[in-house]
Amino acid sequence: MKRSGLINFLIIGGIVLVLIVLQAVLYTNPAETNENEENANRSTYSSTTYGLRGLYLFLEESGYNVSRYRFPYTELESRGLKSLIVVSPLDYTQPTEEEFKAVTSWVEKGGQLVIVDRDINLKFGSDVTIKTNRFFTETIKVKIEQPSDFTHDVRDIQFSNSRSFINITGGSFVYYVGEAHGAMLAELSYGKGRIIFLSEPYIMANNGIAQGDNQTLALNIIRNVATDKNVAFDEYHHGYGAKSQSGMIGYFSGTPIMWMFGQLMLLALVVVYTNGRRFARPIPLKEEDRASSLEFVGSMAHLQNLAEASDLAIENIYGRFRKRLCRYAGQPTNVSARQLAEAVGRRGKLNPAILHKVLVRCEEVMAGANLKEEELLSLATRMRQWQTELGL
């Protein structure tokens, strides 16, 4: 006997559904469990605590033509980009020297660059140096150093405990937000363009953008550097290079979808392998019970009268009835009368005490107890009634 195509389809479909549900419910992103303020992935693809997906989606909904830049800085000019936001590149994807020269040239020609990072050590030209320093203090009093479009409507800026401060030497620069140790938001004019430095990624991250006036400050920065509301986030240095991850693979990277595709392919191979194969022994067709219970009871009653064997009649009637009760309640055939009565009572909403009493009486008769004809009829009638009510 072979499984039909429909049965195979239903089985595989059920397995796939279960796997998808389990994958969605139990999936946890390993990157999220290992992330903290110091080593977090600040990608706009990341919806973890420290990612920037929330800000990216908000800009999209606010009418900005926001995009993800997934190419080396050497292609900035050729792609016509005017504004770029770089947020904490990963340690193993730091820009190369060639890329740094390219982005410097791009800024000199009018590019708008925003660098958001706690660890900055850059040198532009021969006289401009930008460094960040760490000062681990429990409290910090940040103030607005210079009124500007960057600090418009900004009064309460919330920072994380991992703080750093910007110090710029040389060139034309302005500190907008800071305190005694240095600036936390600064602007450096360079050639025809400019570079905005922010030493706190927390302000733009998913876990910090809703705190205080962080969202206002982040939007002020983006609004002032975006050209006609066009702005791009650097994703190339978060490992999302256009050549390394493209198309569907790049889109679903880091999600449970890739595992689901793998499971579907494995199940497809199982279907191909098992198609047409026999599973266990052939299952016989179900035989319909051609005799009704009343006919059976009548015949057994007649034989009982002739043979004076009431216990034999009860044994046949009760035996069939009890097997059906066990199947109905999902109980083994050796279950006790009390447990069987309680299980049937819960499912069929019968009085378990009455059912238990009938079961016990039948077992007593089968063990040799005397039984009158009137009681035999009563027991058989009650079992027939329950059989009809429960659809046994």
Is residue 360 included in any domain, yes or no? yes
Domain with 354 in it: 293-390
State the pLDDT at residue 285: 66
**Residue 112 CB coordination number (10 Å):** 20
Is residue 329 a contact partner of residue 340, using CB atoms and an 8 Å limit? yes
* CA–CA distance, 7 with 18 (Å, rounded to integer): 17
Same domain, 184 and 232: yes
193 in a structural domain: yes
Instruction: Check residue 8 and give its pLDDT.
Output: 64
Locate tokens 């904490």: which residue?
Answer: 88
Does residue 323 surpass a pLDDT of 90?
no
pLDDT of residue 1: 42
Residues 219 and 83 in one domain: yes
Residue 64 lies in a domain: yes
User: Between 139 and 239, whose confidence is greater?
Assistant: 239
Q: pLDDT: is 232 or 325 the higher one?
A: 232
DSSP 327: H
72 lies in the same domain as 167: yes
45 and 192 housed in the same domain = yes
**Pair of tokens at residue 161:** 């405990």
Number of domains in the chain: 2
Whether 50 is covered by a domain: the verdict is yes
Position 139 pLDDT exceeds 80: no
Residue 114's pLDDT is 96
Q: Assess whether 194 and 101 both reside in one domain.
A: yes
Residues 126, 191: one domain?
yes
Statement: residue 69 has pLDDT above 90:
yes
Q: Are residues 246 and 301 in the same domain?
A: no
Q: Tell me the C-alpha distance between 1 and 292, whole Å.
A: 31
**Which pLDDT value is given to residue 303?**
58
Confidence of residue 88 (pLDDT cuts 50, 70, 90): very high
Span between the terminal Cα atoms of the chain, in Å: 29
- Residue 311: which pLDDT band, with cuts at 50, 70 and 90? low
Nearest-angstrom CA–CA distance, 143 and 249: 45
pLDDT band at 24 (very low <50, low <70, confident <90, very high): low
pLDDT at residue 308, as a whole number: 58
Measured torsion, CA atoms of residues 239, 240, 244, 247, in degrees rounded to the nearest 10: 160
**Taking Cα atoms as reference points, which of 314, 296, 321, 294 lies closest to residue 366?**
314
User: Read out DSSP for 377-389?
Assistant: HHHHHHHHHHHHH
Q: Say whether 11 sits in a helix, a strand or coil.
A: helix
The answer on pLDDT for 30 being more than 70 is no
Whether residue 62 contacts residue 220, with contact meaning beta carbons closer than 8 Å, is answered with no
Same domain (yes/no): 242, 169 = yes
Per-residue pLDDT, 256: 64
Mean pLDDT, rounded, of the chain: 81
The pTM is what? 0.58
Residue with tokens 């320093």: 133
Same domain, 221 and 325: no
CATH classification at residue 185:
3.40.50
Report which of residues 215 and 300 the model is more confident about: 215
Beta strands in 203-300 (DSSP E): 230-234
153 and 250 both lie in a single domain: yes
Give yes or no: residues 251 and 354 share one domain.
no
Residue 317 lies in a domain: yes
> Which region holds residue 239: left if phi is over 0, alpha if psi is between -120 and 50, else beta?
left
- The alpha carbon torsion through 291, 295, 297, 299 (nearest 10 deg) reads -100
Share of the chain above pLDDT 90, in %: 36
329 pLDDT band, cuts 50/70/90, is: confident
Question: Are 100 and 245 found together in one domain?
Answer: yes
* Residue 199 belongs to some domain of the structure: yes
| pLDDT at 188 exceeding the cut of 90 | yes
pLDDT band at 373 (very low <50, low <70, confident <90, very high): confident
| pLDDT over threshold 80, residue 117 | yes
SS (H, E, C) 104-168: HHHHHCCCEEEEECCCCEEEECCCEEEEEEECCCCCCCCEECCCCHHHCCCCCCCCCCCCEEEEE
Which of 199, 228, 255 is the last residue before a domain boundary?
255
Q: State the pLDDT at residue 34.
A: 74
Tokens of 46: 């990341």
On the question of pLDDT at 266 being above 90, the answer is no
What local confidence, expressed as pLDDT, does residue 294 receive? 56
Q: How many Cα atoms within 13 Å fall on the side-chain side of residue 385?
A: 10
Task: Note whether residue 126 is domain-resident.
Answer: yes
Whether 261 maps to a domain, the answer reads no
